[in-house]
Amino acid sequence: WPLGTSIGPDGLCVAGVSANELATRFGTPVYVLAEDEVRRRCRAYRTALPEVEVAYAGKSLTCKAVLRWVAEEGLSLDVCSAGELAVARSVGFPATRILMHGNVKTPEDLKAALAYEVDRIVVDSLDEIAQLGALARYPQRVLVRVTPGVDGHTHKAITTGVDNQKFGFPLSGGAAAEAVAAVLAQPSLRLAGLHCHIGSQVSTVAGYEEAARRMVTFMGQIRDTHGIVLRELDLGGGHAVPYLPGEPTFDLTGYAQRVRVAVSYTAATVGLPVPHLTIEPGRAVVAPAGITLYRVVTVKNGFVAVDGGMSDNMRVALYGAKYCVRLAGRQSNAPLRTVTVVGRHCEAGDVIAEDVPLPTDVHAGDLLAVPMTGAYHHSLASNYNQVCRPPIVAVRDGQSRLLVRRETEDDLLARDLG
Ligand code: LLP
Share of the chain above pLDDT 90, in %: 94
**Residue 248 — very low, low, confident or very high, per pLDDT cuts 50/70/90?**
confident
Query: What pLDDT shows up at residue 153?
Result: 74
- pLDDT exceeds 80 at position 158: no
Q: Which residues line ligand 1 (CB under 6 A)?
A: 57, 59-60, 78, 101, 158, 197, 200-201, 236-239, 280-284, 315, 319, 375-376, 380
Query: What pLDDT shows up at residue 398?
Result: 97
Single out the residue of 282, 270, 242, 386 nearest to residue 42, CA to CA. 282
Query: What pLDDT shows up at residue 400?
Result: 98
Q: Buried (b) or exposed (e) across 316-353, using 16+ Cβ within 10 A?
A: bbebebebebbbbbbeeeeeeeebbbbbbbeeeebbbb
Q: Can you tell me whether residue 381 is helix, strand or coil?
A: coil
**Residues forming beta bridges with residue 295, ordered by sequence position:** 367
CA of 199 relative to ligand 1 center, distance in Å: 7
Write down the domain spans for the chain: 5-33+287-414, 35-283
Known binding-site residue numbers for substrate:
283, 315, 319, 347, 376
**Residue 9 — very low, low, confident or very high, per pLDDT cuts 50/70/90?**
confident
Give me the chain's average pLDDT, please.
96
**Residue 157 — very low, low, confident or very high, per pLDDT cuts 50/70/90?**
confident
CA distance 284 to 250: 9
Single out the residue of 388, 383, 389, 374 nearest to residue 66, CA to CA. 374
ipTM of the complex: 0.99
- pLDDT exceeds 90 at position 155: no
Q: Which atom of ligand 1 is nearest to the CA of 380?
A: 16
Arch. (CATH architecture) of 5-33+287-414: Beta Barrel (2.40)
CA of 108 relative to ligand 1 center, distance in Å: 22
The rounded radius of gyration (Å) of the Cα atoms in the chain is 23
CATH number of this structure's domain 35-283: 3.20.20.10
pLDDT tens-place string over residues 24-76: 999 999 999 999 999 999 999 999 999 999 999 999 999 999 999 999 999 99
Query: What pLDDT shows up at residue 5?
Result: 93
CA of 59 relative to ligand 1 center, distance in Å: 7
In a 13 Å sphere around the CA of 402, the CA atoms on its Cβ side amount to 11
CA distance 275 to 283: 25
pLDDT tens-place string over residues 160-204: 777 778 999 999 999 999 999 999 999 999 999 999 999 999 999
Mean pLDDT of 339-368: 97
In a 13 Å sphere around the CA of 135, the CA atoms on its Cβ side amount to 20
pLDDT tens-place string over residues 272-282: 999 999 999 99
Let me know: does 283 contact 375? Beta carbons within 8 Å.
Answer: yes
Share of the chain above pLDDT 70, in %: 100
pLDDT top residue among 222 and 2: 222
- pLDDT exceeds 80 at position 374: yes
Helix (H) or strand (E) segment spanning residue 214: helix 206-226
Residue located nearest, by CA, to atom 11 of ligand 1: 238
CA distance 118 to 402: 29
Query: What pLDDT shows up at residue 311?
Result: 98
Query: What pLDDT shows up at residue 161?
Result: 72
Q: Which atom of ligand 1 is nearest to the CA of 314?
A: 24
- pLDDT exceeds 90 at position 151: no
Q: How far is CA 324 from CA 15, 133, 246, in A?
A: 20, 48, 12
pTM above 0.90, yes or no: yes
Mean pLDDT of 262-268: 98
- Catalytically active residues are 346
CA distance 259 to 180: 24
Query: What pLDDT shows up at residue 58?
Result: 98
**Residues forming beta bridges with residue 306, ordered by sequence position:** 296
Q: Which atom of ligand 1 is nearest to the CA of 240?
A: 15
CA distance 172 to 240: 27
CA of 134 relative to ligand 1 center, distance in Å: 29
Q: Can you tell me whether residue 106 is helix, strand or coil?
A: coil
